[in-house]
Amino acid sequence: MIETAIVTLQVNDSGRDVEVEPRRILADVLRDDFGLRSIHLGCEQGACGACIVLIDGEPAVSCMLLAIQVEGRAIHTLEGLLGTDRMQLLQLAFHQHYALQCGYCIPGALVNLYAFLDAGKPVSESEVRNRLSGNLCRCTGYQNMVAAAVAASRGRSAPDKGLEELRGVGPELAMRLRARGFTTPMRVAEASAADLSSVPGIGPSIAARLGAAAVAYLSPTGGRKREG
């Protein structure tokens, strides 16, 4: 006969008694007993981050915890965070920055970033990349996730649309420009062709056209105000 134990788990602000085998991992209990399908099992070695939950407010990989280890502790999954202002802002930022891919890793990344933005202060791209180092994604180069998290940390869901008003600049190119520090038409206008060519996918001819477009955008005859 397999030994079982009754544990009380506090999941998404609600307590519930569950009968579990002592060897059962928290991820399986959350998925199978609580029906919380945002928990995804990828590596089952604590490396991919697809099963991240919050334990007492801190991110933890639920595939490396036994359910009996977290009895009485506050457990939050993505489902329990969806109605909060911070998560809604993160979700909208992910949508606006085209950061949503197949969806397998996204819940874990969102929960991880939710905890990271708890301090309520702006974060840098390098800080976000460091934070997401434990979230593996096969679909993307992470840049869109990083841009979304940086925007959300500043209380915004979408980037300033100034760059998209430049002739020939769409959302993807604008994202790459911002990632290299060219965040406004003014900065593009002041940059050299060599500087603009450092942006992935921009060669000398495109850099020259971008610079000219930014100058035209900011000129009095272009009907735009110069930015500070």
Task: Report pLDDT for 221.
Answer: 58
What is d(CA 28, CA 9) in angstroms, rounded to the nearest whole number? 13
pLDDT at 159: 60
Q: Do domains 82-153 and 163-222 have the same CATH topology?
A: yes
pLDDT for position 26: 98
Q: In the prediction, which pLDDT does 64 show?
A: 97
pTM (whole model) above 0.75? no
The domain segmentation of the chain, as residue ranges, is 5-80, 82-153, 163-222
pLDDT of res. 222: 53
Read off the pLDDT of each residue in 116-142 and give the average, rounded to a whole number.
89
Pairing verdict, β 5-11 and 74-76: parallel
Confidence band of 41 (pLDDT split at 50, 70, 90): very high
Given a cut of 70, whether residue 153 has pLDDT beyond it is yes
In order of 39, 77, 156, 199, 212, the CA distances from 125 in angstroms are: 26, 25, 15, 16, 28
Span 42-93, pLDDT tens digits? 999 999 999 999 999 999 999 999 999 999 999 999 999 999 999 999 999 9
E-assigned strand segments in the chain: 5-11, 14-20, 52-55, 58-61, 74-76
Rounded Cα distance, 112 and 52, in Å:
7
* Pair 70, 9: CB distance under 8 Å: yes
pLDDT class of 218 with cuts at 50, 70, 90? confident
Q: Output the pLDDT for position 228.
A: 40
pLDDT (average), residues 164-191:
84
| The domain over range 5-80 is classified in CATH as 3.40.50.1010 | no
Topology annotation, domain 82-153: DNA polymerase; domain 1 (1.10.150)
Is the pLDDT score of 127 beyond 70?
A: yes
Q: At what angle do helices 143-153 and 106-116 cross, to 10 degrees?
A: 30
CATH no., domain 163-222:
1.10.150.20
In the prediction, which pLDDT does 226 show? Answer: 42
